[in-house]
């Protein structure tokens, strides 16, 4: 059980594997008023930057679960680097089925609602790990602008227009699922640029070093096509944010 190798090549040395930068991640931690000792479960935790920096800055404790062995190893290294390995731990496993031994104060799934086949299912996965009154964090794309045609939908890597909501529709969906939206921090075009463009440099450096690898043709096509697709479609039409929710 692991991610395809192309994912780790694309992400390269990135620490935050979504369109947030370090400033926005820090803003989110302050906005939800984290207190020392807050227990956090981070599902699809990637390279662990959320848990590691929040342990350093706010004194939280937590567990991250991710399907990638490479990302999990990087998360453990980051915890050691920041001196928080005694407060956070990282497990390789299936985030969709993981349940902690004890309920937590905050459960997060930031940018991977595929584990629940969408927002409603992911909220249910998070709910089962929360103590009464605990907070859920969900990271999710949304339409910044209504896509005018199927080409734009495909260019934003969506299967259908209905795969994503507009921002009002997403907020309405949270309410329909029985949750109050109590905070949000949204990516902007600059943080999207930093995430998307970092992939291009990672791909190019890897291709230069590995021209005969079996993945070279596939990743060469991606590097050729992705910059134009991004600036033509995704940058204008697709937003992304992290939403803090409390059960009604």
- Report the pLDDT value the prediction gives residue 10, as an integer from 0 to 100: 97
| Closest to 140 in 3D by CA, of 194, 177, 184, 92 | 184
- Report the pLDDT value the prediction gives residue 128, as an integer from 0 to 100: 97
Domain count, the chain: 1
What DSSP designation does 200 have? H
**153-157-159-165 Cα dihedral, nearest 10 degrees:** -70
| Residue 173: C-alpha distances to residues 121, 126, 170, 236, 243 (Å) | 12, 16, 5, 23, 12
The tokens describing 167, both together, are 């921002």
User: What is the reported pTM?
Assistant: 0.96
**What is the rounded CA–CA span in Å between residue 242 and residue 248?**
19
Assess if residue 152 is contained within a domain. Answer: no
Per the DSSP assignment, residues forming a β-bridge with 141 are 240
Assess if residue 181 is contained within a domain. Answer: yes
- Report the pLDDT value the prediction gives residue 162, as an integer from 0 to 100: 94
Concatenated DSSP letters of 35-68: -TT-EEEEET-TT-HHHHHHHHHH--EEEEEES-
Assess if residue 218 is contained within a domain. Answer: no
Q: What is the pLDDT of residues 69-102, one digit of tens each?
A: 999 999 999 999 999 999 999 999 999 999 999 9
User: Which residue's structure tokens are 């997403």?
Assistant: 170
User: Which residue's structure tokens are 């990637």?
Assistant: 46
Assess if residue 231 is contained within a domain. Answer: no
- Report the pLDDT value the prediction gives residue 80, as an integer from 0 to 100: 98
Whole-number CA gyration radius for the chain: 18
Assess if residue 232 is contained within a domain. Answer: no
Q: Which residues, given as ranges, of the chain have pLDDT below 70?
A: none
Assess if residue 18 is contained within a domain. Answer: yes
Concatenated DSSP letters of 104-170: EEEEEEES-GGGGTSHHHHHHHHHTTEEEEEEEEEEEEEESS---SHHHHHHTT-SSGGGS-BHHHH
The whole domain housing 95 covers 5-145+165-189+239-247
- Report the pLDDT value the prediction gives residue 235, as an integer from 0 to 100: 97
Collapsing DSSP to helix, strand or coil, 93 comes out as coil
Assess if residue 48 is contained within a domain. Answer: yes
80 alpha carbon, distance to own chain's centre: 22
CATH number for the domain spanning 94: value is 3.40.50.150
């Amino acid at each position: 059980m692991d991610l395809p190798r192309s994912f780790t090549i694309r992400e390269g040395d990135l620490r935050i594997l979504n369109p947030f930068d370090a400033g926005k991640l820090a803003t989110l931690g302050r906005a939800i008023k984290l207190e020392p000792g807050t227990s956090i479960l981070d599902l699809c935790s990637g390279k662990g930057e959320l848990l590691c920096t929040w342990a350093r800055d706010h004194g939280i404790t937590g567990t991250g679960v991710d399907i990638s062995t490479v990302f999990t190893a990087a998360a453990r290294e980051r915890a050691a680097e920041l001196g928080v390995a005694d407060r956070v731990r990282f497990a390789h496993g299936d985030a969709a089925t993981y349940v902690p031994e004890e309920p937590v104060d905050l459960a997060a799934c930031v940018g991977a609602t595929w584990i629940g086949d969408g927002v409603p299912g992911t909220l249910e996965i998070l709910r089962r790990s929360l103590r009464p009154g605990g907070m859920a964090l969900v990271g999710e794309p949304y339409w910044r602008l209504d896509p005018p045609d199927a080409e734009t939908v495909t260019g934003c890597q969506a299967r259908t227009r209905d795969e994503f909501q507009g921002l009002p529709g997403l907020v309405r969906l949270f309410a329909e699922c029985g949750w109050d939206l109590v905070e949000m921090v949204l990516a902007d075009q600059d943080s999207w640029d930093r995430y998307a463009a970092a992939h291009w440099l990672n791909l190019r450096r890897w291709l230069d070093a590995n021209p005969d690898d079996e993945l070279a043709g596939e990743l060469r096509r991606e590097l050729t096509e992705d910059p134009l697709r991004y600036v033509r479609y995704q940058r204008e039409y697709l937003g992304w944010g992290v939403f803090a929710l409390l059960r009604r």
